[in-house]
Amino acid sequence: MAPCYNEAECLTAFVRRMQTAAEAAVGPAYELILVNDGSIDATWTVIEHLAADFVHVVGVDLSRNHGHQLAVTAGLGLTRGDRVLIIDADLQDPPELLADMMALMDAGNDVVYGKRRVRHGESAVKLSTAKLFYRVLSSISDVEIPQDVGDFRLISRQFVDRLNAMPEQDRFLRGMVAWLGGRQAEVLYDREARHDGKTGYTLQDMLKLATAGLTSFSTAPLKVSVLLATAGMVIGLLVIIYTLIAYFFGAVQRGWTSLALIVVFFGVGQLGCTAIVGAYVGRIFMQIKGRPLYLIQRVVRGPSMDREV
Ligand code: UDP
Ligand code: MG
């Protein structure tokens, strides 16, 4: 399935190349779901024509622009195949990689993702910010999220069903797939420049995605208040000791001691309360995401357990 936002110029070339690659890798039994994510160019008209010309094409028109992650989510919800390939419509991800991905899945993997070796046609700023983001994310997130990996991946039916069953609003799919666990493998590829058109991802979209990634897979930012509260307590204690010593042995301005003590009391008190609230908010946040507590990969039983119990 491919999300499409203002991809009118790319789509026909994409469908042709994807069709050849899919036929080579899986034969005629496949669907190519194109999700139009509220494009403002002729993308939907092109999809309608493609659906009329190519038997495998399924066109889906979202009501407005929902963003890449939700367009992919909508497409995943409509897939019916045993295996699902998520691929960009701008031919930056080579469809021909499907054959290698299928082979790795035949070997027992649940997810095979494309890992970018080089990225052509991307600005230095995008490359360095993406790199920094992935490094930060992997250092603070609770699950191992592979680096330099986008959403280009082949996923087994079972794992797609599990993804679809995750109700979280803020969707950072590459993290969610990593969270699923199972056997995941990578294939290396060179990311091409866009076939045509221009990126639909603005800086704002990238920041939004980065925030979703950081906050959905880690409560580390919330813990800043705990750190501040701890530091505040230590500093506060030192200030109290200093103030009292100065009060009893030094010459201090009238009212300074009580003022200093009041500032310390309320400052440390507020930081402490924020930390406590933060701890609860973190737990509420994890709870409302409604993720399953665990996922079972497989169960084996001894032969005597085969009969019905
Ligand atoms: N896309 C989308 N909705 C959006 C932005 C992008 O469905 O709001 C699609 C786009 O058509 C493409 C994929 O998501 O198939 C990746 O987007 P893009 O190529 O703009 O991002 P980049 O490759 O520059 O990161
Ligand atoms: Mg692209």
Q: How far is the CA of 92 from the centre of ligand 2 (A)?
A: 6
Asked whether residue 181 falls in the same domain as residue 284, the answer is no
Residue 43 lies in a domain: yes
Atom of ligand 1 nearest to the CA of 200: 20
User: At residue 3, what are phi and psi to the nearest 5 degrees?
Assistant: -80, 140
Q: How far is the CA of 136 from the centre of ligand 1 (A)?
A: 23
Q: pLDDT value at position 175?
A: 93
User: Do residues 289 and 229 lie in contact, with contact meaning Cβ atoms separated by under 8 Å?
Assistant: no
Atom of ligand 1 nearest to the CA of 72: 7
Number of domains composing the chain: 2
User: Do residues 66 and 33 lie in contact, with contact meaning Cβ atoms separated by under 8 Å?
Assistant: no
Tallying the residues shown for the chain, one arrives at: 309
Asked whether residue 238 falls in the same domain as residue 104, the answer is no
Asked whether residue 160 falls in the same domain as residue 267, the answer is no
Residue 74 lies in a domain: yes
Residue 306 lies in a domain: no
Q: How far is the CA of 253 from the centre of ligand 2 (A)?
A: 66
Asked whether residue 258 falls in the same domain as residue 127, the answer is no
Strand runs (DSSP E) across the chain, as ranges? 2-4, 32-36, 57-61, 83-86, 111-119, 149-156, 184-191
Asked whether residue 158 falls in the same domain as residue 266, the answer is no
User: Do residues 6 and 29 lie in contact, with contact meaning Cβ atoms separated by under 8 Å?
Assistant: no
Quote the CA–CA distance of 127 and 131 in Å, as a whole number.
Answer: 6
Which ligand has the nearest atom to the CA of 151?
Answer: 1
Q: Print the domain residue range for 182.
A: 2-218+293-301
Q: pLDDT value at position 307?
A: 59
Quote the CA–CA distance of 90 and 6 in Å, as a whole number.
Answer: 10
In DSSP terms, 177 is beta-bridged to none
Quote the CA–CA distance of 43 and 6 in Å, as a whole number.
Answer: 6
Which ligand has the nearest atom to the CA of 201?
Answer: 1
Quote the CA–CA distance of 109 and 15 in Å, as a whole number.
Answer: 26
Q: What's the N-to-C CA distance of the chain in angstroms?
A: 42
Question: Which residues line the pocket of ligand 1, CB cutoff 6 A?
Answer: 2-5, 7, 37, 65, 67-68, 71, 88-90, 92, 199-201
Asked whether residue 100 falls in the same domain as residue 124, the answer is yes
Token output for 72? 């992919």
Q: pLDDT value at position 113?
A: 96
Asked whether residue 118 falls in the same domain as residue 80, the answer is yes
User: Do residues 77 and 46 lie in contact, with contact meaning Cβ atoms separated by under 8 Å?
Assistant: no
How many helices (DSSP H) and strands (DSSP E) are in the chain? 10, 7
- The pTM of the whole model exceeds 0.85: yes
Atom of ligand 1 nearest to the CA of 71: 7
What is the Cα Rg of the chain in Å? Answer: 26
Residue whose token pair is 């390939």: 85
32-36, strands of its sheet edge to edge: 2-4, 32-36, 57-61
Asked whether residue 77 falls in the same domain as residue 202, the answer is yes
Name the residue at shortest CA distance from atom 23 of ligand 1: 199
Which ligand has the nearest atom to the CA of 75?
Answer: 1
Asked whether residue 89 falls in the same domain as residue 228, the answer is no
Token output for 31? 């669907």
Asked whether residue 54 falls in the same domain as residue 198, the answer is yes
CATH number at 68 reads 3.90.550.10
Transcribe 139-158 into DSSP letters.
Answer: HH-SS-PPTTEEEEEEEEHH
Q: pLDDT value at position 198?
A: 84
Q: How far is the CA of 105 from the centre of ligand 1 (A)?
A: 26
Asked whether residue 18 falls in the same domain as residue 145, the answer is yes
Which ligand has the nearest atom to the CA of 40?
Answer: 1
Report the candidate in 220, 116, 139, 134 with the shortest Cα–Cα distance to residue 172.
134
Q: How far is the CA of 88 from the centre of ligand 2 (A)?
A: 6
Q: What angle do CA 3, 117, 215 make, to 5 degrees?
A: 55
Q: Which residues contact 74 (CB under 8 A, 6 or more apart)?
A: 35, 60, 62, 66
Residue 142 lies in a domain: yes
Q: What is the pLDDT along the chain (309 residues), one digit of tens a residue?
A: 999 999 999 999 999 999 999 999 999 999 999 999 999 999 999 999 999 999 999 999 999 999 999 999 999 999 999 999 999 999 999 999 999 999 999 999 999 999 998 877 778 888 888 888 888 888 888 788 888 899 999 999 999 999 999 999 989 999 999 999 999 999 999 988 888 888 888 888 888 888 888 888 888 888 888 999 999 999 999 999 999 999 999 878 889 899 999 999 999 999 999 999 999 999 999 899 999 999 999 999 988 766 555
Residue 264 lies in a domain: yes
Token output for 305? 């357990």
User: How distant, in Å, are the alpha carbons of 10, 104, 264, 283 from that of 25?
Assistant: 22, 12, 68, 45
Residue 282 lies in a domain: yes
Residue 174 lies in a domain: yes
Residue 112 lies in a domain: yes
Q: How far is the CA of 225 from the centre of ligand 2 (A)?
A: 38
Name the residue at shortest CA distance from atom 22 of ligand 1: 199
Token output for 98? 């499907």
